[in-house]
Structure 1
Amino acid sequence: MQGAINVNDIRKLARRRLPRAVFDALEGGAGDEVSLRRNRAAFDRIEFRPRPLADVAKRDLSTTVFGEQLSMPILLAPTGAGRLARSSAEIAVARAAARADVVYMQSTVGAFTLEEIAACSTGKLWYQLYLPPDRQEVKNLVSRIAAAGYRAIAVTIDTPVLGNRERDARNRLLARPPHPKVLLQGASRPVWATDFVRGRVEARRPGRPGRPVQQSLDQTRTSIKTSSDCVTWEDIELVRSLWDGPLLVKGLMRGDECDRLVELGVDGVVVSNHGGRQLDGVPATIDVLPEIVDAAARRLAVLLDGGVRRGTDVAKALALGATAVLVGRPYLYGLAAGGEDGVLRVIEVLREELDRTMALLGAATVADLDRSLVSGARVPGAPSPSER
């Protein structure tokens, strides 16, 4: 694992360890995967304009979000496929995040309960919330989140139904009983299969500390399906009335909704197209980021996820106004390839790359990253290439 020098190296290790159907579940997007590809292509289009005469002998990657200092502006995003990558799932991710002093946003859908994650972690935890269908349950869930010590809640708003994830359909990953093709693929990866079976055995042990809640991909889909069909403005208002800490909305892709979010008391947004896994054909998140940053006008913290694979990507997002970024697939690669240590390696690779990028750009601090350092981004009001 230490020989892996970038996220793509770790991705290759994960691909070798995982059955094809499982790797596709982590890697794939919706429909023709247009938005999935756009998330990456948009970062590649943006160019740097460095300030080489700046004093960058000492660099500081720390930043402040909601009044709390973070070691760097990279957070671990909520994902629901950790159990498929490694039986330790969110436990390993939370521990790695604590070791690296970065925020981990725990998903509602996972292999372990929110209390189990909190009990095993000494780090900073945020919680991603899918609203339960019974709004009477929201109060109890928010109370549990607060009692467990989570510091912020992010309500996901882009899953009224699940996206059309065709790789999973083609691979018959969700078939019950398991499709023979999936069983054969699992048998071809004995290390993964042994870990997966061990995790299921551990899940059945009553009273075991940190006992996982069984959660396969089909159960993940069912969990989201049986949550609220849609999230409305009234739901955001409800959660705001129940939660005293920082409140974010995850899944925003347009700036004209910022004013009302501010009126409702929302503290931040995550610019997200769900990693290209929901509605195919939407823009890359980095392309709509400047619009939302401008509309938020410093009234909201604006975070971004989708397509981040390098420290250079982080720097581009920060230069365009993001408060911080979230990464999902990269740490899932690390989890699959090396468990807790694999997740930690991904975090450290991104930290090293961001530090090097800032030095070469002429930015000694995160605050020094601004739009003057990039070109090629889609900025609101700027002429399109055909108009120049």
Structure 2
Amino acid sequence: LQTASEGFERVMELALPGRLEEVPEDLGYALLALRDAARTVISALGATRDKSVQDEDAVRKQALASVETIHGVAERITQGSEYDVVWYERHDRFGASVRVAPLSVSGLLREKLFTERSVVLTSATLKLGGDFNGVGASLGLAPEGTAGDDIPQWKGLDVGSPFDYPKQGILYVARHLATPGRESSRTDMLDELAELVEAAGGRTLGLFSSMRAAQAAAEELRGRLDKPILLQGEETLGELIKNFAADPETCLFGTLSLWQGVDVPGASCQLVVMDRIPFPRPDDPLMSARQKAVEEAGGNGFMAVAATHAALLMAQGAGRLVRATGDKGVVAVLDPRLANARYGSYLRASLPDFWYTTDRNQARRSLAAIDAAAKADGK
């Protein structure tokens, strides 16, 4: 297994990020060697026992699970199914890797799950664009109410919320900003962000589309404002959220895990900022492959994949603001496309029904008033 791993590592030294339409010959040989070596190790682990090792059964199970994963993934890639997407990836810390994922899980779910039993699927963020059809399609379900043989019947139910979103929150879209480009620095966005954080008195959760953008914003605002700016990666996530919740003047900036994993009710989080609509990167191999497949089937790949992906993340991110019935604040999206683009209405319909404005002065006045009220309450 060690020899096979070294052979695989040599192949990966030359790997360039991107999708593999076909598995290169040298990678195929390396993966076959890994698969066969892993199978040998699995057999050996099942046949030997070492009584000198404490908790040997637990250690053996962990080793078996790891080697079985290597065996399964190597075999799956070498089989070259048309329903799989294979790609190279490079990471600053972990180096190069080869990955595989299904082009779609819809057929598997429809065949193995929905046709055999009754199923309840529940989440706070399933209703995208105003209905459940987008999420349903990604799970292999036809539009609600569609009838026919071999088509699972389903019903969507929106049970509402305990929160009064129009009274508790404002959705502010910075319509006047320039449309964000792929790599360009966004000085106008940073100016807007600084003004909003100042008006809010801190109390800001910054949700960024990339770690690079979060770092740039943290560096810029640390130089401009007399507010503590915490940055994801500088401490453990748990410690960051604890410190953010403890001090109302503190801001927390970060990326993907913060869009989904922060629960800070009260005055410490009264402004949630999204720097841009979180569409998947155009060079994301899995998303672009899924988008292409939808288009080849006659659908709208952008709306089915990219817009649905963005809508789900934005719904989760906006959900960080109101966590209790007494919470108030602003969700600020610093991307004018949410107001100006044709798909903007779809994305806005996926968010809680906050009071909506594109007036920057209104947003700042509201934040200042909410900040003043929190300070008057000693928060």
What TM-score range do you get, normalising by the shorter chain?
A: under 0.3
* TM-score (ref. length: structure 1): 0.25
When Rg is computed on C-alpha atoms for both structures, the one with the higher figure is 2
Query: Quick one: higher RCO (CA 8 Å, sep 6+), 1 or 2?
Result: 1
TM (norm. structure 2) is 0.26
